[in-house]
Amino acid sequence: MRWYVVRRVLWAVVATFLILSVTWGLLAVTPNPAAEQMQFQAAASGGSAEAAEEAFEARRGLDRSPWVRYQEYMTNMVTLNWGWSQSRSQPVIEAIAAALPYTAIYSVPTTILSILLGLAIGLYSATNQYTKSDYAATFFAFFGYAIPNFWFGIILLLVFGVQLGWFPVVFDSDIPFFSLGMARQLVLPVVVLVTGTIAGVMRYSRAEALEYVEAEFVKTAKSKGADGYRILTRHILRPAAVPLMTILVGDILGIFLAASYLVEVVFGIPGLGQLSYNAILAQDTSLVLGTTLIFTFVSVVGNLVQDVAYTVLDPRIDYGDR
Amino acid sequence: MSAEPLLSIRDLRTVFHTDDGLVRAVDGVSFDIGRGETVCIVGESGSGKTVTGESITRLIRTPPGEIAAGEIVFDGQDLTALSDEALRALRGDRIAHVFQNPQGALNPVYTVGWQIVEAIRLHEDVSKGAARDRAVDLLDRVGIPEATRRFDDYPHEFSGGMKQRVSIAMALATNPDLLIADEPTTALDVTIQNQILSLLDDLQTEFDMSVLLITHDLGVVAEVADRVVVMYAGKVMERGGVFDVFEQPSHPYTRALLDCLPGRGDGAASIGGRLPSSTDPPAGCRFHPRCEHAVDACREGEQPPDYAVDGDDDHVVSCVHYEPGGDPSVVRGGGDDAGSGDAVDDDGGDGRGSGAVGTPPADRTLRAESLGDDGSDADREDRA
């Protein structure tokens, strides 16, 4: 098992390496807007466009061989020297470090809430299949699933922020992190994200649990005299946790990373999503690259966690010779 | 039995509320299990055997299932009147189950030892160490080699037969009074079947328990049963001591089942037709659409009451031909009762002659015609 985990970790490193290399390759063949601007200016003022381009490349070190540039790029990546953000006039890594806590402060409660609530509602639905409360939970799940996050966020802001005035409309990043005021302004974004993610968790956990509600070993457990709670947690949830891992890690990561763009922009939270969004608008290549890579790394680590979790959760997975 | 039976089921009715209507899976079943006795329920798939077994400890899913009527008296207590809590305390403690499919009966994510220890500790306040020792003993007792080492193995590391042994060990963990074994050998191959059956037999003596064995295999019944309950479409067709039922099979359905046993002269026969619709069973005797001896009285009213066979109250049959003043020889054939006395040992069944319900090909058309006026779905499909 230790060998299996080591191999999984190595694979994660290889995957990261490949992602970085491909990204570099794409960047290397993409025309640089800054260089084009230089050429245009040079041509407009009567100078030579080629000379301007060469000067630009020499200044940026682009006249060196691709191999040298690639080596330098990889070294910088590993040493967290991710370049200079032109739009923010600060190192990329600093901009990311400043934005990360704001993403974490709403995504951590969102993840915990959607897993806990999603599992609880899903299991309840599975054990009370085709009852009124099951239908209500299903309706709630599909509502959350179908409604666009950003639109739902705007509506909530209008109703609870503008009309009722219960929650602040504009996110105030000066409020200390662990305070009531912060909690208050996080309510709406968390509600919006949870309604989106809870649906998936709830439907999947319902489906997986249903598979086991009827299982023979659940009948065995009942015939042994186990009570309902024990059957649910030990004999239904525990085996269902294996396939659920895929959903919990993959789905939640995917949904909340994608959703963070929309929700941060709508609610004005200065997190990674907004940083990335503004970087794209400003054509700030280094910053776009930096923020995108953060999301990529989170996915790689998420998948690694998932692979390792499988082996812990399911004794049938053979990790002996892989 | 002169003593009070351990389990006494009276007029048990278990129904399932389905989209297609009310399914009367068990419809007025009565039988007793004495202490230390082995009772077998036999019948085709879908005859209500399993539901009967699972109704005893209310293992059926409710809803859609519901025990609509009847009494299940276990050691003086009516289980149908018991609270869920009280019944749960009984499950696995005094009444244990072994199920058909050992592949599915064990939870794949726990070691077998964990699952046996769970069975012990659910009912007894013993330390983990003590429970572990007992579990190892049990594994050893049911014939798992190197029990101490295998304690920490997962179910997928055991073969089907070994898994069934583990299931049995788990069921015996609390020394139950009654073991309900629902087709415990059906999913296993033949050589293993015999091992498991003789294991059950040994354990029954050792643990001094009663066994309710549910099976469709009459060979198994002949081997282990003290008494037999023959079920068909939720009804008891015939019940009695194993010798009476095998030597004096009285209900046409029992006789048809016995004819299905292979290796008796002209090979195995099959029963023509199929089980009646579960939501809309035929009037009268449930078996009449497939019965050669059906007369008008069989086709109307309710399932006939239990009539004593040859004046023996322990051997009863639900067939109009046995009502007082009736003529059982219609079913038994040949006119004389003596001829039907040796159905098991008989090599050809000549004593029963045309009375046998098993299907000589020539009889097929005859039966199909006689079924024609009935017009139930099953019959139409049978003819098509």
**C-beta separation of A192 from A149 below 8 A:** yes
Whether residue A161 sits in one domain with residue A57? no
- The bridge status of strand B65-74 relative to strand B77-78 is antiparallel
What is the rounded distance in angstroms from the CA atom of residue B184 to the CA atom of residue B193?
8
What are the chain A neighbours of B170 within 8 Å (beta carbons)?
220, 224
Whether residue A67 sits in one domain with residue A112? no
Q: Please compute the mean of the pLDDT values over residues A181-204 and round it to a whole number.
A: 86
pTM for the full model? 0.74
Domain that holds residue A14: 2-83
∠ CA B337-B237-B320, nearest 5°, is: 60
Q: Please compute the mean of the pLDDT values over residues A256-268 and round it to a whole number.
A: 78
Surface of B (56-75) touching A: CB under 8 A: 57, 59, 61
> Between chains, do B170 and A315 touch, taking CB under 8 Å as contact?
no
pLDDT in tens, B16-25: 888 888 888 8
Inside any domain, residue A151: yes
> Between chains, do A224 and B105 touch, taking CB under 8 Å as contact?
no
> Between chains, do A222 and B91 touch, taking CB under 8 Å as contact?
yes
Whether residue A134 sits in one domain with residue A219? yes
Whether residue A167 sits in one domain with residue A42? no
Inside any domain, residue A320: no
> Between chains, do A223 and B90 touch, taking CB under 8 Å as contact?
no
- B123 and chain A: CB distance < 8 Å anywhere? yes
Substitution target from A208, A214, A219, A220 for chain B, most B beta carbons within 10 A:
A220
Q: Which of B88, B107, B118 has its CB closest to that of A239?
A: B107
Q: Can you give the pLDDT at residue B364?
A: 34
Whether residue A128 sits in one domain with residue A241? yes
Q: Please compute the mean of the pLDDT values over residues A226-234 and round it to a whole number.
A: 87
Inside any domain, residue A57: yes
Please give the domain boundaries of chain B with CATH numbers for all domains.
7-228 (3.40.50.300), 251-383 (no CATH)
Mapped onto helix, strand or coil, the DSSP state of residue B224 is helix
> Between chains, do B92 and A225 touch, taking CB under 8 Å as contact?
yes
pLDDT in tens, A161-191: 889 888 888 888 788 888 888 888 888 888 8
The total number of structural domains that make up chain A = 2
Whether residue A202 sits in one domain with residue A69? no
Whether residue A107 sits in one domain with residue A75? no
Q: For residue A278, what are the contacts with CB-CB under 8 A and spacing of at least 6? A: A87, A284
Whether residue A290 sits in one domain with residue A154? yes
> Between chains, do A220 and B99 touch, taking CB under 8 Å as contact?
yes
What are the chain A neighbours of B101 within 8 Å (beta carbons)?
216
CATH number of the domain that residue A255 is part of: 1.10.3720.10
Residue B371 phi/psi, 5-degree rounding, is -80, -20
> Structure tokens of A196?
């989106």
Q: For residue A217, what are the contacts with CB-CB under 8 A and spacing of at least 6? A: A235, B104, B105, B106, B107, B108
- B204 and chain A: CB distance < 8 Å anywhere? no
pLDDT in tens, A100-114: 888 888 888 888 888
Of A30, A49, A83, the position where a domain reaches its end is A83
Q: Please compute the mean of the pLDDT values over residues B118-145 and round it to a whole number.
A: 90
Q: For residue B36, what are the contacts with CB-CB under 8 A and spacing of at least 6? A: B204, B208, B209, B210
Substitution target from B79, B109, B116 for chain A, most A beta carbons within 10 A:
B109
Substitution target from B107, B112, B123, B186 for chain A, most A beta carbons within 10 A:
B107
Inside any domain, residue A249: yes
What is the rounded distance in angstroms from the CA atom of residue B93 to the CA atom of residue B318?
35
What are the chain B neighbours of A239 within 8 Å (beta carbons)?
107-109
Inside any domain, residue A321: no
What are the chain B neighbours of A223 within 8 Å (beta carbons)?
57, 59, 91-92, 96-97, 99, 171
Compute the Cα dihedral for A279, A283, A286, A288 and give only its sign: positive
Inside any domain, residue A26: yes
Inside any domain, residue A139: yes
Of A48, A83, A118, the position where a domain reaches its end is A83
ipTM of the shown complex: 0.77
What is the rounded distance in angstroms from the CA atom of residue A124 to the CA atom of residue A118?
10
Whether residue A114 sits in one domain with residue A226? yes
Inside any domain, residue A88: no
Q: Can you give the pLDDT at residue A254?
A: 67
**C-beta separation of A153 from A169 below 8 A:** no
> Structure tokens of A88?
């923010």
Whether residue A101 sits in one domain with residue A43? no
Helix (H) or strand (E) holding A165: none
> Structure tokens of B26?
């068990």
Using CA atoms, how far residue B336 sits from B215, B238, B269, B327, B351, in Å, is 31, 20, 24, 11, 9
Using CA atoms, how far residue B363 sits from B319, B360, B369, in Å, is 22, 6, 10
Q: How far away is chain B from the Cα of A220, in angstroms, using its nearest Cα?
A: 6
Q: Which of B105, B170, B171 has its CB closest to that of A216?
A: B105
Report DSSP letters for B123-180, one per residue: TS---HHHHHHHHHHHHHHTT-TTHHHHTT--GGGS-HHHHHHHHHHHHTTT--SEEE
Q: For residue A59, what are the contacts with CB-CB under 8 A and spacing of at least 6? A: none
pLDDT in tens, B323-364: 877 777 777 765 444 433 343 443 443 433 333 343 333 333
pLDDT in tens, B64-123: 888 888 889 988 888 888 888 888 888 989 999 999 888 889 999 899 999 999 999 999
Q: Can you give the pLDDT at residue A66?
A: 84
Tally of CB atoms within 10 A around B165: 24
Q: Bigger pLDDT: A51 or A135?
A: A135
What is the rounded distance in angstroms from the CA atom of residue A189 to the CA atom of residue A160?
12
Q: Can you give the pLDDT at residue B383?
A: 39
Find the DSSP H helices in A66-91.
66-78
Whether residue A194 sits in one domain with residue A111? yes
> Between chains, do A223 and B109 touch, taking CB under 8 Å as contact?
no
Whether residue A187 sits in one domain with residue A234? yes
Of A64, A83, A102, the position where a domain reaches its end is A83
Is B365 a residue whose pLDDT tops 60?
A: no
Q: Which residue of A has its CA nearest to B170?
A: A224
